[in-house]
Every structure is written in C-alpha cells, then in structure tokens.
C-alpha cells in the first residue's frame, strides 16, 4: 500500500511550485519529489507543475501532460491557458477535449483560446469559428469572463464594431469589461485608423469612461492608463489633468504604467517640464519609460537632449530595445543630426546585437531625406535587406517635396501607388511639387488620376480646448456656434498679416482658382480657424494649444509665427509630425520640419 504524502513536505512543495524563480533543473527536482511522494496524483499540485514546466520547456510539459491517464477539463484548461503563445498546440489540446466523450469545454476553456487567436496574425477565422463553439457548449451571456475575452479578441483583430456590440449586449458590465472596451478604443486610436477616425475613437473612449463613472463602477489603474492615453492622443488637457488628479485623490497606485502614461500625456500636451518632473520622480525606470521620454523630447525637437537621455539609459544599465532606437533616431531627424543618427543606427547591430527592422531603416531614410541627402536616402532604400513599405517611400516623397527633387519624388510615388493606391496624401504631395514650379499640366494630370481612382483628399482637422471643452474645426468650417465671430476675427488676422508684410504662399492651393481665392482658401485652413476662435475665447495670458491631424502647410506655419508676434500670444501646435512652439514671431522647429 502506497504511503500518503507527507503533509509538511506536500505543503513545502506547493509553496515551491508557486515560486516562479526556477530553472529547468530545479523544476525537474520538484517534479521528481512529487512523483516519489504521490503528490503528482493530486489535481492542484499537478496543475502547478504544468504551469511551471510550460514556462520553462513546452516539450517537457507536453510529455508530462501526456503521461496523465485521464486528464480532467480542469487540467486541460490549465495547460491551454499556460501556452496561449503557442496557438497551434493550444488548439491541438482543444481538439483532444472535443474528441473525448467524457469531457466538455466550459467557461474557462474559451478565454485562453481566444487569447491564443488574438496573438497570431491571420487567425481571425479560427477565432470566429470558436465563437460558434461558445454558443454550442456554454451560455456566453451568463459568463462575464467569456464575454470579456470575446471583446478582447475582436478588438485586437480590428473588429471594433463587433467588440462594441458585444459590450452593449452586457446587462451589467464589470470592471474587466469596461477596461476591455476602453482599451479597445484607445488602442484603435493608435493603430489602423487615421485623421478624424482617430479623434472619434478617443472621444468615444472618454464618453464611455463617463458612462462607467455614472454606472458606479470604480476605475482602477488599468482604466486610468487607457483614459490618460485617450486624453493624450486627443489633446484633451483638462480631462488629462483630471485623470492625474483622480489617481492621487482616489489613492490609486502611481505604478510604473500609470506614471509612464502620464509622462507620455504631458509630453504630448507640450508640458515637457511636467513630463521631466514625473520621469525624475520614478524610482524604477525601464526601457518603456525611457522610450516614452525620448519620444517626447523628439516631438519637441530636442535632439541633443534625447541623445543625452539615451546615453544615460545605457549608463544606468537599462537595455535599449527596438522602440528605443526608433525614438532616438527620430529625435535626430527632427533637428538634422545626420551623423549622430547614423552612428546610433549602426550601433544597433555592432554594439547591441539588435538587427535593424523596417521601421529603423525608415527612420534613417527620413533622417537623410530631410537633410537633403536624397541620393543617399534612395541608395539606402534600394540596399535594404527587406522590401521597403509605404512608410519608407512616403518619407522619401516628403523629403523630395521639401527639397524639390521631382525625379526621385515621381519614383517614390509610383511605388506608393502600387502599395496604397487609395491614399490621397501621396498624390497631393506630388501635385504640390508640380505646383511649386508651375507645371500646371502635370498638376492637372495628377488630379485627374485622383479623380479616376476615386481618391479624395482627407480633410485636415484641428482641435482646440477651451475651458475643458474640445472644439473641432475642418477647412472652411462654418458649423461652429461662434462662426460669425470666428470669421470676423479671421478678417482682422488677415488684415494684420498683410500690414506686417506677410505674402501668402499660394503655390500649394488648388490650381484652378484665382490668386485672390487661393489666399482665402489658405485663411480657412482648420488650424487658422482654431487660432481665430482661441484668440476671441481665451484670456491673452494663456497659450493657445492646437492639435492637428496632418502636417501643417508652409503658409500656415509662416502666418502662425507672425500671428504669435502680432497678438503677443504663445501658440503650441502639434501636427502630424511634431510640436511647433510659436513665440514672438519664431518657431521652435527653426523651420526644419
């Protein structure tokens, strides 16, 4: 008769299993002890050794699992949940569950499988089929855990509409459900969407957050990270500051993730000093934290400071990652530090053993192109070890526009049209290049191609926050309740600009209207409307803060510099590329953007 396990040793073994600081050698010793004591016959410690072994050696854990004579659905669920990064193996185990007549999937089976699908590209069809199994084997509406996993799966798969539908079907969403849908909107605003869609997602996230507060579900740190991110992307300063205050007054933990989100937010708001202060107060700084701060410095054109922070990161023993190098090379790009940026790029492989990826080559192409080294930039594109994507060619085209290189610009456009034929910005860039040298036949040809392909120019959108309310403007906008007042201010601004010698740059405006109309079209750009509104709606002691989805045009940049001097107002504009701090007739970018 087998002796029962020694209760003291069993307790010690379970405690050891709960400690994840193990090597394969110690894990095997624990496994051997479990066999000799009979503890291996009990489901709970067996589940723990499965979790531990799968984190160290999946082949070992699979061998261990296959030795179990009649694994329960609990053990299947445990093993599947510990290997979600290996989607093929997870689904192989699920197939074994379906094949066993004595087993039936339950509420704990599907969340891990949906997570496995979401972690793999092009696995949406598998997850969608799995959704059908949920209806067959369980009642998904009765289990919040399953519903949340479905929301997460559809949101990471880019199906935000389905995720929102599933959320709205929940009668009483809990904190996990609220966090999932908020993360879905906030993550959607960072990828896969552009322009006005981006802003709409962030606005919807803030509206959902208000509904969450009304429903008396108390936010946690994860909630605030998502909301702070939405405020940062939207430029909602008052909401962002309120979120920071909420963390403090609600005794939520100012943990690593919350602090990093706040640093990112204040940097994107233009309050780099506050971002610096929070960064310095953090006791533990990892690569993510450094990356956010370096990116913030890059946005504001502080290339030398970004390089200095990169060096400090190395001195403090924090290993840079792929994102670090993207951030620091971008920082060099914004101020033309070609040699420094090139050296940092070369150090990736030589010093850190990191193989440059497509995004790093794209940053280097942008660095060379903006500095006017277009031949070198083109040579780099042609010598890349991978196929250049649209981002690389777009960087090259943008540089060609700045430096007037039509030959390389036309080459870049041909590649862009093949990769993304429906994107209007490429055609507009080339059209503006032709307009700058009065090649109107070519301008007409490009516009005709756009028309034939059904490509429409995406409108520029600008946001300005006044007393906690966000005001949105598009070109020629007359929908604002204060529209009459705004246009009267525009007339005054234009008159004062003329008196101070401003000569509108009309080359990039539509070619088929008269010069006088072109000047009027420039006056109606979204950022110009936002500035006019801010001038009449805010106290003169406050800086004007504008968020724009597209790159600011040359004329608006020149006129905003002059407006800052005429009206004695600091104007902070965040466009699609970077920050511009206008003060007393000058811009922080030094006209290099």
**Confidence label for 578 from pLDDT (cuts 50, 70 and 90):** confident
SS3 581: strand
- What are the C-alpha distances in Å from 182 to residues 119, 131, 224? 19, 22, 10
- pLDDT interval class at 189 (50, 70, 90): low
The confidence score (pLDDT) of residue 419 equals 85
pLDDT for 450-509, tens place per residue?
777 766 666 778 989 888 888 999 988 899 999 999 999 999 999 999 999 888 765 555
Q: Return d(Cα 222, Cα 517) in angstroms, integer.
A: 51
Confidence of residue 128 (pLDDT cuts 50, 70, 90): very high
Indicate the class that CATH gives domain 362-458: mainly alpha
Checking if the pLDDT of 198 tops 80, the result is no
Nearest to 271 by CA among 69, 12, 543: 543
The helix (run of H) or strand (run of E) holding residue 175 is: helix 175-188
Element (H, E) at 571: strand 571-574
- In 10 A of CB 44, how many CB atoms? 11
Residue 96 pLDDT > 70, yes or no? yes
- How far CA 337 is from CA of 45, 356, 533, 590, in Å, comes to 58, 19, 37, 14
Give the Å distances, CA to CA, from 483 to 142, 462, 477, 486, 529: 50, 15, 8, 5, 9
Give the residue from 217, 195, 197 showing the smallest Cα distance to 208.
217
Query: Roughly what angle, to the nearest 10 degrees, separates helices 110-118 and 144-156?
Result: 10
Nearest CA to 370 out of 344, 331, 324 is that of 331
For residue 61, what pLDDT is reported?
Answer: 92
Kindly report, as residue ranges, where domains of CATH 1.25.40.10 are found in the chain.
362-458
The mean pLDDT of 420-447, rounded to a whole number, is: 77
Q: Tokens 């002796």 appear where?
A: 3
Q: Tell me: the pLDDT tens digits for 489-498? A: 999 999 999 9
Q: Which residues pair with 571 in a beta bridge?
A: 544, 582
Which CA distances in Å does 367 have to 45, 335, 336, 338, 350?
56, 9, 7, 6, 20
Place of tokens 């502080």: 302
Measure the CA–CA gap between 400 and 378, rounded to whole angstroms. 11
Q: How far apart are CA 439 and CA 431, in angstroms?
A: 9
Question: For residues 428 and 548, which has the higher predicted lDDT (pLDDT)?
Answer: 548
Cα 331 to Cα 115: distance, rounded to the nearest angstrom: 35
Alpha-helical segments (H) within 215-301:
221-234, 237-249, 256-269, 272-281, 287-299
């Amino acid at each position: 008769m087998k002796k029962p396990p020694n209760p003291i040793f069993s307790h010690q073994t379970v405690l050891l299993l709960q400690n994840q600081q193990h090597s394969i050698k110690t894990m095997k010793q624990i496994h051997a002890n479990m066999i000799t004591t009979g503890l291996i016959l009990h489901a709970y410690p067996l589940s723990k050794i499965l979790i531990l072994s799968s984190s160290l050696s999946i082949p070992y854990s699979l061998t261990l699992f296959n030795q179990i004579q009649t694994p329960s659905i609990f053990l299947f669920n445990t093993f599947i949940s510990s290997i979600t990064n290996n989607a093929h193996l997870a689904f192989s185990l699920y197939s074994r569950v379906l094949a066993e007549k004595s087993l039936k999937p339950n509420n704990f089976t599907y969340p891990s499988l949906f997570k496995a699908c979401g972690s793999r590209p092009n696995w949406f069809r598998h997850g969608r089929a799995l959704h059908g199994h949920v209806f067959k084997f369980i009642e998904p509406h009765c289990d919040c855990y399953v519903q949340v996993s479905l929301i997460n799966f559809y949101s990471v798969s880019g199906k935000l509409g389905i995720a929102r539908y599933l959320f709205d079907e929940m009668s009483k969403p809990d904190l996990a459900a609220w966090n999932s849908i908020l993360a879905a909107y906030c993550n959607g605003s960072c990828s896969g969407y552009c322009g006005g869609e981006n802003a709409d997602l962030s606005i919807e996230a803030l509206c959902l957050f208000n509904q969450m507060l009304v429903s008396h579900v108390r936010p946690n740190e994860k909630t605030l990270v998502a909301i702070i991110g939405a405020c940062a992307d939207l430029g909602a300063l008052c909401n962002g500051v309120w979120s920071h205050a909420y963390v403090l007054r609600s005794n939520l933990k100012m943990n690593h993730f919350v602090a990093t989100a706040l640093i990112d937010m204040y940097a994107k708001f233009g309050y780099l000093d506050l971002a610096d202060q929070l960064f310095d107060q953090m006791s533990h700084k990892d690569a993510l934290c450094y990356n956010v701060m370096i990116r913030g410095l890059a946005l504001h054109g502080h290339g030398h400071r970004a390089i200095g922070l990169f060096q400090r990161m190395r001195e403090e023993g924090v290993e840079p990652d792929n994102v670090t190098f993207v951030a620091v090379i971008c920082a060099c790009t914004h101020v033309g530090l070609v040699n420094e940026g090139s050296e940092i790029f070369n150090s990736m492989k030589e010093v850190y053993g990191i193989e440059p990826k497509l995004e790093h080559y794209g940053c280097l192409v942008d660095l060379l192109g903006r500095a006017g080294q277009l031949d070198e930039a083109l040579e780099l594109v042609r010598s890349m070890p991978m196929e250049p994507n649209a981002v690389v060619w777009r960087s090259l085209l943008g540089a060609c526009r700045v430096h007037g290189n039509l030959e390389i610009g036309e080459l870049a456009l041909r590649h862009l049209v093949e990769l993304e034929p429906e994107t209007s910005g490429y055609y507009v860039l080339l059209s503006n290049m032709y307009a700058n040298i009065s090649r109107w036949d070519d301008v007409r040809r490009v516009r005709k191609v756009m028309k034939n392909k059904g490509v429409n120019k995406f409108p520029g959108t600008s946001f300005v926050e006044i007393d906690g309310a966000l005001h949105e403007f598009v070109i020629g906008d007359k929908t604002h309740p204060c529209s009459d007042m705004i246009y009267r201010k525009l007339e005054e601004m234009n008159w004062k600009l003329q008196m101070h010698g401003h000569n509108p740059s009309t080359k990039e405006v539509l070619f088929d209207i008269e010069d006088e109309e072109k000047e009027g079209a420039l006056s109606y750009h979204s950022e110009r409307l936002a500035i006019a509104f801010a001038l009449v709606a805010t106290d003169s002691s406050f800086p004007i803060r504008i968020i724009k989805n597209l790159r600011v045009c040359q004329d608006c940049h020149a006129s905003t510099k002059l407006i800052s001097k005429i009206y004695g107002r600091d104007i902070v504009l965040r466009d699609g590329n970077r920050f511009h701090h206008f003060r007393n007739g000058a811009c922080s970018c030094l006209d290099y953007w």
